[in-house]
Amino acid sequence: MFDSFTLRALPPEDEALREPLRALIAERVAAQPIDRRARSWMGFDADLSRALGAAGYLGLTLPKRYGGQERGAYARFVVSEELLSVGAPVAAHWIADRQSAQLILHFGTEAQRQDYLPRICRGEIYFCIGMSEPGSGSDLASVRTRAEPVEGGGWRLNGQKIWTTFAHHDDYMIALVRTSGISADRHQGLSQLIIDLKTPGVTVRPIVDLTGDAHFTEVFFEDVHLPPDALIGEEGAGWAQVTAELAFERSGPERIYSSIVLLDAWIAHIRAHRPDDEASLALAGRLTAELAVLRAMSLAVTARLAEGESPVIEASLVKDIGTGFEQSIPALIADDLGRHPDQPVAPELVRALAFATQIAPSYSLRGGTREILRGIIARGLGLR
């Protein structure tokens, strides 16, 4: 396992992407208040996504014939890191750019590539992922949403998805559904379908969380008719496809940077008010060291992706440990601030801390629960 995490450095040509991107971010994002930027990749701003697309920061790894930049996975790592570090609201294009485009590129038909990929690269269309279901959670193999072939071609879809990110704002869902067999068949008979969320029979209901935001949704399908070309890849091959797709979802720096705006704001607070506080400095050092290790692990996984591999186990490990790191930050910062009850704290920092404290429990829900990830890791190590 440890041989999979070889230290890698970012190529100079990809590091060069940072400066021009920082100029764009400074113009559109950096001046926003901390508590707004603390939403990070859960902030939805279609204007920003279109601006990033126009500047060539989307579709970095896609072929130029589909509107991409033909860069490597390292380039996308740099761009992701820059956006997340400042808390840019990138949710509009995030899933489409990160994994839907890759899925369509590798498993889609040529017509699907030509239709969807250029629009993803321009930041014009947005995707969500329909995986979790009521009663199934992250146990994807037990999905019950079913698509049945209909006479004359196409599919009739019935069922429900839940914990679907931003379906109420997105244009399309790529859903894992059962096209044959029963839930007990587990990995057999599963397929992926592209669903236009404006299709009659599709109902999307936002789920309001503790913060008052609604980035999760539940989606209902009632006799939804889908055309034949809704199928992506091979019928019945959905499990293998979605497993490869999840490596893109679980390995990225968003799995370690969700609380980074709060961490930066707190370190600025320490620097301004009590630069000699040994306990606070020790905590800042500890969190910085943990972040550095997680970043190196995420970069090692990116290297495997750049080499055309599918590091499912390694990506699951980064996601599991990274989620724990992200979730620990709000409570640790709250404890530190609580040790100095008479010290003034900027209202923006207080609001950012309150938001992160409320949203942090969901970090281990999205992209696969901790229990599911540890099952994947255990199987990869031959322990179960």
The answer for residues whose C-beta is within 8 angstroms of residue 278's C-beta and 6 or more apart is: none
Instruction: Out of 82, 245, 249, 314, pick the active-site residue.
Output: 249
Rounded CA separation 35/120 (Å):
29
Q: Which amino acid, residue 368?
A: G
Instruction: Enumerate residues 6+ apart whose C-beta is below 8 A from 57.
Output: 17, 21, 24, 79
Residue 160 makes CB contacts below 8 A (sequence gap 6+) with 133, 134, 145, 218, 219, 220, 221
SS3 (DSSP) at 217: strand
**How many C-beta neighbours within 10 Å does residue 151 have?**
5
Q: Of 372, 158, 125, give the one whose Cα is nearest residue 246.
A: 372
> Do the Cβ atoms of 45 and 33 come closer than 8 Å?
no
Q: Which residue has the tokens 């990809």?
A: 14
Q: State the Cα–Cα distance between residues 159 and 131, nearest whole angstrom.
A: 12
Burial of 6 (0-12, 13-18, 19+ CB in 10 A): exposed
Task: Give yes or no for a contact between 160 and 195, defined as CB atoms under 8 angstroms apart.
Answer: no
d(CA 99, CA 114): 17
Q: Is 249 a catalytic residue?
A: yes
Give φ, ψ of 111 to 5 degrees. -65, -40
Catalytic residues: 249
